Structure 1
Amino acid sequence: MSYDITPSQEQALLRLLGKVMEVMRDDRPLDPNDPAFGTLESSRYIEPGEAGVHYSFRNSAFPDAKVDLSTWTDPLDYSDDRTRVRAVPASFVLWFRHPPAGISRGQFEQRLDLANYWVGAGGVREEGNDIGHSLPPFTQEHRYRYRANAGEHGRFPVDVELFFLDPPPNDPSGKVWLERITIDRDYPYLTPAMRKKKREEENQKKRQTYGYMNLCTGTPCPETGGWEGWIDSGSTDVMEFARGQIFDAVRSVSLEHGGSCPMVVGRWFWLCSTSEKSGTVWKGIELQG
């Protein structure tokens, strides 16, 4: 069963998709209670130990449609403790139980600022947008895939897919029906091992960058985190400093040997972020978060 979309429904649909693109492409804050999405019906954590939440909405303009938006633990945050990582938008789906007719993909292309190409596996750019029909038994379904243009405030690659249903042979109107719209951020896939490597690379870069700044006792700390103290004979100390805090003196005897000792002027080198401190091993000592 299908029907012709009304002007008010079309406005509600474009307003909804515009809001989704603001969140997905422009990184605007997600407010699940924004009336553009509809009424929030449910929310649930997607996986234990992760920050991602799945939101389901009921939109009065399309009361029988599936309207879902999911967030996920930020893939670009390389912290090992995923419980401390913020959630970021990941995917959106609008699926019509009764597909409307009368709205063209050209309207979506213009209003959502979609490019005339899409990006496949491995980042390969594919020209054109017509993916063709789905495999049997869904041969009536016609798919179109897009990479959204970045726009002035775009921060993340966004992929859009439109699913239309071709009219059945006995339909004299010849109108296509809008079945589904998906909008997804194209995040890189990283395993825990890959995240660990990224963390090590970032820490090495920071250590090198801050090393050129000659950060020593009495100078302000440029970034909150764990720092390693050095004297002429080598590294002897580990401390956590907040951004703007003045670097302290450094132990004259290495912390690994324990006990009190005179404190002397020394240099401080970046070691790790605060979230990484717990579990970091320094000279056989496991640091506490």
Structure 2
Amino acid sequence: MNNDITPSQEQALLRLLGKVMEVMRDDRPLNPDDSAFGALESSRSIKPGEAGMHYSFRNRAIPDATVDLSTWTDPLDYSDDRTRARAVPASFELWFYDAPTGVSRRLLEQRLDLAGYWIDAAGVREEGNDLGSGLPPAELLHTYRYRANAGEHGRFPVDVELFFLDPAPNDSSRKTRLIKITIDRDYPYLTPAMRKKKREEQNQKKRQTYGYMNLCTGTPCPETGVWEGWTDSGSTDVMEFARGQIFDAVRSVLLEQGGSCPMVVGRWFWLCSTNEKSGTVWKGIELQG
């Protein structure tokens, strides 16, 4: 039975994969309604309290295939409150129910701009792409693994796997069939404790950097966040400012003492981002998000 991919199907496949690589590698905005993906069939949250979503599509130009794309809570956002972090693309999978023949692996490598090596779980570069055939009962399954070239606008490492079915011994056509393609961003793995450490390092670096700018009452705020006000009496105030907003005067007595007090010209130092405000403890006071 002839199951060769048609020219129109190949064109739709390459258009789909090109769009996925734009999102995954070049960090283009993800639009689930983009016709290149097909018709959106369903979307669901992946994990309660997280920003990630799973999208399933039906692409009529590529029949007998499932198209799935997942986003995840941004691993590079170190805030502890994951509900406030944005969702970023994480993984893509195209699975053929009826695996087509005639799909050129070389063409896919060229169009997706794939390198001649792959990266293992330990971060070690492995030369070549052919991982060989599978073990019984999947001895016909042949896997090829790649690290995508970064490209001019590449921001994140991207890993690609191509899964083909080798022809059976009694298959006179001797044609391979494409069964699956996966495309994944290689994000760093961070535990909550590791995120906390990164967050503290990031805040300390910002505090030091902004400290050299002599940000005081009357100067514009360089970044939206929670800032700590200082006077000759030390750290006496904390306030949230938006980028471009003019820094206010600083309380002349400690905030925890309560009540009204004279406001004086003071300096402002970075404390944390607005996403990190909730739960942050400043001088014994737990800030409210």
TM-score category by the smaller chain? over 0.9
Question: Are residue 105 (structure 1) and residue 105 (structure 2) matched?
Answer: yes
- Partner of 2:64, secondary structure, is strand
Aligned length: 289
Question: Are residue 135 (structure 1) and residue 135 (structure 2) matched?
Answer: yes
Preserved CA contact (<8 Å) 1:2 1:98: no
Question: Are residue 148 (structure 1) and residue 148 (structure 2) matched?
Answer: yes
AA matched with 2:124: V
Distance in 1 (alpha carbons) for counterparts of 2:287 and 2:10: 57
Q: Which residue matches 1:208?
A: 208
- Partner of 1:108, secondary structure, is helix
Q: CA deviation at 1:233?
A: 2.8
Question: Are residue 71 (structure 1) and residue 71 (structure 2) matched?
Answer: yes
Q: What aligned pairs does 1:110-259 form with structure 2 within 5 A after superposition? A: 110-259=110-259
AA matched with 2:68: D
**Which ranges of structure 2 fall in alignment gaps of 5 or more residues?**
none
Q: Which residue matches 1:284?
A: 284
Distance in 2 (alpha carbons) for counterparts of 1:7 and 1:218: 65
AA matched with 1:5: I
Per-residue deviation, residues 149-187 of structure 1 (Å, max 9, x unmatched): 011111111000000111000011111110100000001
Q: CA deviation at 1:86?
A: 1.2
Q: CA deviation at 1:2?
A: 6.9
Distance in 1 (alpha carbons) for counterparts of 2:145 and 2:98: 22
Distance in 2 (alpha carbons) for counterparts of 1:189 and 1:161: 20
Q: CA deviation at 1:17?
A: 0.6
Distance in 2 (alpha carbons) for counterparts of 1:162 and 1:204: 43
Q: Would the alpha carbon gap of residues 272 and 3 (structure 1) be closer, same or farther in structure 2, given more than 3 Å must change?
A: same
TM-score of the two chains, using structure 1 as the length reference: 0.97
Q: CA deviation at 1:61?
A: 2.4
Distance in 1 (alpha carbons) for counterparts of 2:31 and 2:2: 31
Distance in 1 (alpha carbons) for counterparts of 2:190 and 2:15: 33
Distance in 2 (alpha carbons) for counterparts of 1:61 and 1:244: 49
Distance in 1 (alpha carbons) for counterparts of 2:2 and 2:160: 23
Distance in 2 (alpha carbons) for counterparts of 1:94 and 1:245: 47
Distance in 1 (alpha carbons) for counterparts of 2:136 and 2:199: 45
Q: Which residue matches 2:31?
A: 31
- Partner of 1:115, secondary structure, is coil
Q: CA RMSD in A?
A: 1.2
Distance in 1 (alpha carbons) for counterparts of 2:157 and 2:95: 22
Q: Which residue matches 1:14?
A: 14
Distance in 2 (alpha carbons) for counterparts of 1:40 and 1:259: 56
Q: CA deviation at 1:288?
A: 1.3
Q: Which residue matches 1:267?
A: 267
Q: Which residue matches 1:92?
A: 92
AA matched with 1:207: R
Q: Which residue matches 1:46?
A: 46
AA matched with 1:235: S
Preserved CA contact (<8 Å) 1:2 1:177: no
Preserved CA contact (<8 Å) 1:219 1:246: yes
Preserved CA contact (<8 Å) 2:233 2:253: no
AA matched with 2:86: R
Preserved CA contact (<8 Å) 2:225 2:274: yes
Per-residue deviation, residues 40-97 of structure 1 (Å, max 9, x unmatched): 1111111111111111111112322111111111111111111111111110001111
TM-score of the two chains, using structure 2 as the length reference: 0.97
Runs of 4 or more above 6 Å deviation: none
Distance in 1 (alpha carbons) for counterparts of 2:52 and 2:40: 16
Preserved CA contact (<8 Å) 1:2 1:99: no
**Which ranges of structure 1 fall in alignment gaps of 5 or more residues?**
none
Question: Are residue 3 (structure 1) and residue 3 (structure 2) matched?
Answer: yes
Distance in 1 (alpha carbons) for counterparts of 2:269 and 2:8: 60
Distance in 1 (alpha carbons) for counterparts of 2:84 and 2:231: 34
Distance in 1 (alpha carbons) for counterparts of 2:66 and 2:202: 41
Per-residue deviation, residues 98-155 of structure 1 (Å, max 9, x unmatched): 1111112101110110000011112111111011122322111010000000111111
Per-residue deviation, residues 200-229 of structure 1 (Å, max 9, x unmatched): 111000000000011111111111111111
